[in-house]
Amino acid sequence: MYIVSDSSSNLLSFEGVGYSTVPLKIISETKEYVDDVSLDVENMVNEMSQSKEKFGTSCPNAYEWLDAFEEKDDIFAITITSKLSGSYNAAETAANMLMEKEPEKKICVLDSFSTGPEMQLIIEKLKELKEKGLPFGEIKEKIKAYMQKTNLIFSLQSLANLAKNGRVSPAVAKIAGVLGIRLVGMASEGTLKPLHKCRGEKKTLETLKEVMMDMGYKGGKVRISHCLNLEAAQKLKDSILRVFPKTDIKINICTALCSFYAEKGGLLVGFET
Ligand code: X90
């Protein structure tokens, strides 16, 4: 098995199975940040906050996906939601190009309808299924079933970059535009669904936990990605552990793509139900 994800997974390396990422990019007229291990994300966020330029993003094209598939077998490719990015379409195109050239290759492209930590859960599950020694077709079925039981919720202090790039409506972006107000929401049908307006961090973390419970969380795996907000991520982790002491919870940082859209302070929470 070989797994390729786009860099929106925030998982630029992963041990124990063949794995690589194809980067998305953050671009302005004069700058380009490539979402790979060589990038200093904190520096990017600070540079951008001081810049007057307009920044956008671009997803990998089909040739970049195809490069990642080259010489690999039993490939699973996983992308950010096709509702907000062209990454899935590009990966699909690449998969078709590959199969035309080498029809015996097995490849499966998965649209996460999500991003970040929910993609992480899916990647980790793929590795687990591989370790069970299951055949490709069965892994494909099982991972699709698993993806029905993974979720993503988030809290955002600013939705300015999402709005400027047409990924949420200006009306939704306005919710979090006020100082101290954060938007708690969930990924639903591949897009952002606003749920609650929260004032202050304490209330926000409580709300995130409540939303998890409402969605049917019962102690499954949790993955938290944060944009320059380790402290809040740690507090959320601790508060979940108080209810479910044995839960497997891991924290990592948002790399470039998720940092750009989640913005400073943003939290993304992927969890199993
Ligand atoms: O193709 C591209 O240029 C990339 C566009 C990506 C746009 C959305 C990124 C969202 C990142 C924000 C909060 C979580 C939203 C979950 C929605 C499914 C993270």
For 75-131, how does the pLDDT look when each residue is reduced to its tens digit (9 = 90+)? 999 999 999 999 999 999 999 999 999 999 999 999 999 999 999 999 999 999 999
Does the beta carbon of 192 sit less than 6 angstroms from any atom of ligand 1? Answer: yes
Ligand 1 centre from 252 Cα, in Å?
17
Predicted confidence at residue 172, as pLDDT, reads 86
How far, in Å, CA of 67 to CA of 211, rounded?
Answer: 40
Per-residue pLDDT of the chain (273 residues; tens, 9 = 90+): 999 999 999 999 999 999 999 999 999 999 999 999 999 999 999 999 999 999 999 999 999 999 999 999 999 999 999 999 999 999 999 999 999 999 999 999 999 999 999 999 999 999 999 999 999 999 999 999 999 999 999 999 999 999 999 999 888 888 877 778 999 999 999 999 999 999 999 999 999 999 999 999 999 999 999 999 999 999 999 999 999 999 999 999 999 999 999 999 999 999 999
* 243 backbone φψ class: left, alpha, beta (φ>0; ψ -120 to 50): alpha
Ligand 1 centre from 16 Cα, in Å?
28
Q: What is the pTM of this model?
A: 0.98
Residues with Cβ within 8 Å of 255's Cβ and at least 6 positions away in sequence, in order, are 7, 10, 12, 35, 39, 41
* Residue located nearest, by CA, to atom 16 of ligand 1: 187
Contacts 24+ apart (CB under 8 A), 172-181: none
